[in-house]
Structure 1
Amino acid sequence: MEVVAAWERYAQERTPRRDTNASGAKTWLNWTQYADHGPDESILGELQGRTVLELGCGTGCNLAHLATLGAECIGVDIAPSQREKAVARWGHLPGLTFHTAEVTDYLSRTDGPLDVVLSVFGPVWFTDPEQLLPLIRKRLSPAGVLVFSHKPPPLEGREPVGTLREAKAVTRWEHPPEEWSALLRSAGFSDTEAEIIPPPEETGTGTLLVHAYA
């Protein structure tokens, strides 16, 4: 399958995450493309005992941090090798499971309420939102939250949203904050917040961070 192959190639090219961050922590959550930058997991609210799903979990480093805080965590990634790496590094942690699947397939064929859904530069950026967002909303508990991040769309020379490039795997839905808010409301989310986190250096690119509440 072309999509899986594309993401598998990407996974093989990725450099493993550091063993510790700048403060010496062994687990942490990073929303931006810059190391040790931006908000932490506190924007997700209370995590103890809550069920968390990460879409596009990669090697599980962000999700492992949430598991150490008492969340029941599920990670889904389309690339088979990502699950192997995640289990090898984090399989010893309780309350943490990983699955290989395309996210809309996973959400369609599983059940049970989710308290938190997150995606860090993951499938929310690479999947048709008119298909994905209603599936997420359907699974969220009454007090549930969706939080995702990706690069903001370029101001100039922006390609049409949803343009198919080499494969579905590299199609990006690069919506600005106001468009994401409208799409989320259309999918049944009652409240949304979107912001662009400035980069650590003036010459860098910011990070779009979106919250959507059930």
Structure 2
Amino acid sequence: MRVGEILNKVFLIEIFKGLALTLRMLFSKTVTIQYPSQRRKVHEGFRGRHALVRDPFSGNDKCIGCMRCTTVCPSKCIHIKREKTENKMVVIDYIIDASRCIYCAYCVEACPVCALVLTEDYEYSSYRREGLVFNKEKLLKNWDDFAKRWHKDFYFNKFWQPPGIDPSRWPKTKREQAPIPLKRVVEIKREVNDESDGS
């Protein structure tokens, strides 16, 4: 045993180093956020709760049933039910199992009409698995709830036009996608509620 090791053991040098570190951290600035009274700022492009984008003019979802999202999904958590009526593909139901999703946003990137989005909403825990399985109605409701809380009048998700890909390779609808006016979405939702209350 060396002299240095003997002195360390006799004078408890390592313990005093640990206490000095504890004392230093005691007076340093805290890094813990006291959730839920404090919330971290969520950056645009955060991959949170799934939603089907509501068309701000028609009030319907924008999905065309092309099945690209289901094809590209690595965890196979997206299931689309569709049928052809009058030479047009109609989406009957759109189901996402969020408990299986790995939040890669491939589905958002692959969508040619920017109909799907992983919103910046992260507060959607559930005690039951059924609460994390979103059908078409729930996905549209997720969009409506997100549109009400979003801090800007317009929304544009960065995964709709992913960087690093030549824009000339995108579908025309993806190239022409403009920020979505969220105030219009809230107005449509209010109109739909008013109509349902009147009937």
TM-score (norm 2): 0.26
TM-score scaled to structure 1, two decimals?
Answer: 0.25
Which structure ranks higher in relative contact order (CA pairs < 8 Å, sequence separation ≥ 6)? Answer: 2
Greater share of helix residues, 1 or 2?
A: 2
Higher Cα radius of gyration: 2
Higher strand fraction: Structure 1 or Structure 2?
1
